[in-house]
Structure 1
Amino acid sequence: MSASIYILNGPNLNLLGTREPDEYGSLTLSGIEMMCREVGEDLDLDIEFRQTNVEGILVDWIQEAGDLAQGLVINPAAYTHTSIAIHDAIRAADIPTVEVHLSNVFAREAFRHHSYVSPVARGVICGFGATGYRLALEAISTVIRP
């Protein structure tokens, strides 16, 4: 039986492929979704993949994941550094969560070095581009199926 994994993406990730390709790569979010679905199939994971620019919608989806999924992979994007609401939603969802970032946030501006998500995530993967999503799915798979 497949485990359900939500992959949630925050603001501006819909612009991948055109927004700062030197920083984020040339792969679009649709390309990342296709890769995640392929990896999910290999790992027997049912993938629910979403993106929004709206913080409240992201909170709603995290709560939904808490009710329906066995795990959460999240790239909160800029909300990483600002959203206590997302922190609280992940804590309340009480499912294994992996935080993903395409870039190495610690090699960037100082304000990106703090995450409100990291304290409530099982782990953090950053700096490996789209490969980080594959690594996150492999990690979450091992957590939910020890």
Structure 2
Amino acid sequence: MGETRWLDEREARAWRGLIGVQQRLLAVLERELVQDVGLSGAEYTLLVPLSEARGGVLRARDLGRLVGWERSRVSHQVTRMAKRGLVVREECGEDARGSMVRLTDTGWSSIVAAAPAHVAAVRRYFVSVLTDAELDVIGPALERVLDRLPGIDE
């Protein structure tokens, strides 16, 4: 193994900035979700793709891939959400080993109530502090980083 190539000042500043923004922004957004509509960030994370899915239903495995979570995390979170009446778990007709997650009316009402305030908070804390030129750079740059990362099940 070769000698470690440490981050230079510019690289370290960008890296620390990304970590700091990720941690603080997600904490602020979660706190506001809980205060506004009583949803945790994890609940919102799963409700979004379910609300966008045809019929409000996704295979649990696909839901995990969409949000970048491991199977066990999805399973535990879906169990908690089912207890709150936000989702129901159903058998997968195509594969007896798989399960489907379906958005309930309560889950739909919750995401509809949460989305406007959440989008406003994202706009207030993230979008509005960046210029159009910065948004044009940061979006594609972060997509390139995501494309380089291995998937959860790789």
TM-score normalised by the chain length of structure 2:
0.28
Which structure features the higher share of helix residues? 2
Which structure features the higher share of strand residues? 1
> Does 1 or 2 have the higher relative contact order (CA < 8 Å, sep 6+)?
1
TM-score normalised by the chain length of structure 1:
0.29
